[in-house]
Amino acid sequence: MASAGPPDPRPAVREAGGAVVLAGVRCERCGHVAAGPRPRCAVCGGPVAEAQFGPDGTVWAATVVRVAVPGRTPPYGLAYVDLDHGPRILAHAPGDAALAVGSRVRLAAKTADGDLAVTPA
């Protein structure tokens, strides 16, 4: 029987109130936030509660990838995004020009490859 492979490390997104939000956790002791499930807080070791973040955020850094890598066709944009009241995530961005640092974006449905995606807000 073939192994299913390792679990997908990318954070989950879901629809909430007509918007795409990121599933994560928030520490009940210190308030630290993280994308995806965690058994306890990575900062203080405290208990965590499920939380959702987004849909909006601010671009912290961005680039355009122009080098071919397996499974991806260049050019494509990538951006680190600080979600409002949430964690910093790496997401695909539309077009072949980098998003401006400080610009506002919104979580979008995942790409066809299952990657997080954002669009200008």
- What are the pLDDT digits (tens) for 26-74? 999 999 999 999 999 999 999 999 999 999 999 999 999 999 989 888 9
State the Cα–Cα distance between residues 109 and 61, nearest whole angstrom.
21
State the Cα–Cα distance between residues 21 and 52, nearest whole angstrom.
6
Q: Name the strand (E) or helix (H) holding 62.
A: strand 56-65
pLDDT at 32: 97
**pLDDT tier at 100 (50, 70, 90 boundaries)?**
very high
State the Cα–Cα distance between residues 89 and 110, nearest whole angstrom.
13
pLDDT per residue as tens digits for the range 82-99: 999 999 999 999 988 999
Residue position matching structure tokens 């601010």: 58
Q: Rounded to two decimals, what is the model's pTM?
A: 0.89
Answer yes or no: is pLDDT of 12 > 60: yes
Cα-based angle 72, 78, 79 (whole degrees, multiple of 5): 160
pLDDT at 13: 92
Answer yes or no: is pLDDT of 112 > 80: yes
